[in-house]
Amino acid sequence: MAASLRTALQTSRSPFLARAGITSARFSSTASKQPTLKERLSELIPAEIEKVKQIRAEHGKKAFGPVLVDQLYGGMRGLPALIWDGSVLDAEEGIRFRGKSIPECQDLLPKAPGGSEPLPEGLFWLLLTGEVPSQQQVAELSRDWAARAAIPEFVEEILDRCPPTLHPMSQFSLAVTALNHDSAFAKAYQDGVSKKEYWGPTFEDSMDLIAKLPNIAGRIYRNVFGQGKLPSIDASKDYSHNLATLLGFGENEAFVELLRLYITIHSDHEGGNVSAHTGKLVGSALSDPFLAFGASLNGLAGPLHGLANQEVLLWLRKMQSKIGENASDEAVKEYVWSTLKGGQVVPGYGHAVLRKTDPRYTAQREFALKHLPNDPLFKLVGQIYNVVPDILLQAGKAKNPWPNVDAHSGVLLTHYGMTQMQFYTVLFGVSRAFGVAAQLIWDRALGAPLERPKSYSSEAISQMFQSRS
């Protein structure tokens, strides 16, 4: 099976390599040829299938925690109901990608030459396999994505015809959904592919999806904000560098490094958040990865999810205009209290699961301390970090008074000149594709069923407990 997959993958790349004038010798190595991501995945799937069978045989009939009525009315908060292999979110430790913390990922995953932040290519490999890839494997993945990066002309036309007043996330979702036109999974399913082989075309679609997102995001950014003609993908550069170039920031190496960190820490956050769960739910209907991820983006576009970083930046700028730059801690405290007394929340603070400072916030803060320690907005974010938790605890407004990832990301993007807040969630969407796609591939490999939880009416709940009294 691995040999046939290798042949198919090489065949799919050959037209691009020929057009680019690239020979296989250019990428040859004195070391032995290491498996590609698809080849390694094909080796891992049989053992994982057996592992799941064993878990179900040993534990399938055991209870897994009670369900409270409050959880049904409270958005299923904390209800154990999903399998999600790429990452687990611990209330105290924060996110772990295949068991590895963000600092561990920063340390272990391959870097670009001269860079210090992990390459998202390595993170995707980790999400899929649970293994840290080699530099050679990551470089090969970068080239593969570059080879797949072009988007169909009709999708370009769709984006070019969108009015600039249409929100970037709406355009993003529209374009991703339209990629379904060339779905390998949809075609294979129509042709009667075996269930055991579902993962193969799903993998191809997922790779195409991730690869094409920079071109889509870059086209939206330039159309809406007037940045000129879109440059070409450079097959010799990594994913984040190409994305930065398409956005017009490729010459700024610090911004490229920021994107590498940004995509890595935003890639996955367990399966219960809106965008991840939506992708899994829609994918369970055997919708192809483009349709499933298009649905994810529509969830991510909500103000309680992906738009939160925009809300934070608006609040910071409003505060800065009110109290000025280099304001005292007392002035910051007074403004925070005025926000709470006005019936509003402090954006960027609190989290549905976390009960400590979000490690993603910490990673961004460390990046800022290294690259932009004197930025006025960053200084304000630091002041807020020092005063807000105590205020929230005093006010009794949050179980978790600590900052989350959204409290910081907008400030970093603004520093490097990306001031268009409406676009920030598109970058979040590019990142979230990594986690959604990785889980969807495994769902198809393991034969995950259609999701169909049981629902109850309020009247049924009332009658249920009346009969027990």
Known catalytic residues? 305, 351, 406
User: Directed axis angle between helix 199-225 and helix 424-446, to 10°?
Assistant: 170
- Between CA 347 and CA 466 the distance in angstroms is 41
Name 89's bridge partners. 95
Closest among 4, 212, 239, 214 to 140, alpha carbons compared: 239
Who's near 122: CB < 8 A, 6+ residues apart?
109, 110, 132, 133, 138
Number of continuous H segments (helices) and E segments (strands) in the chain: 21, 3
Who's near 80: CB < 8 A, 6+ residues apart?
64, 65
CB atoms under 10 Å from CB of 334, counted, come to 14
Q: By three-state DSSP, how is residue 94 classified?
A: strand
Joined together, the tokens standing for residue 380 give 């304000």
65 backbone φψ class: left, alpha, beta (φ>0; ψ -120 to 50): left
Task: Report CA Rg, the chain.
Answer: 23
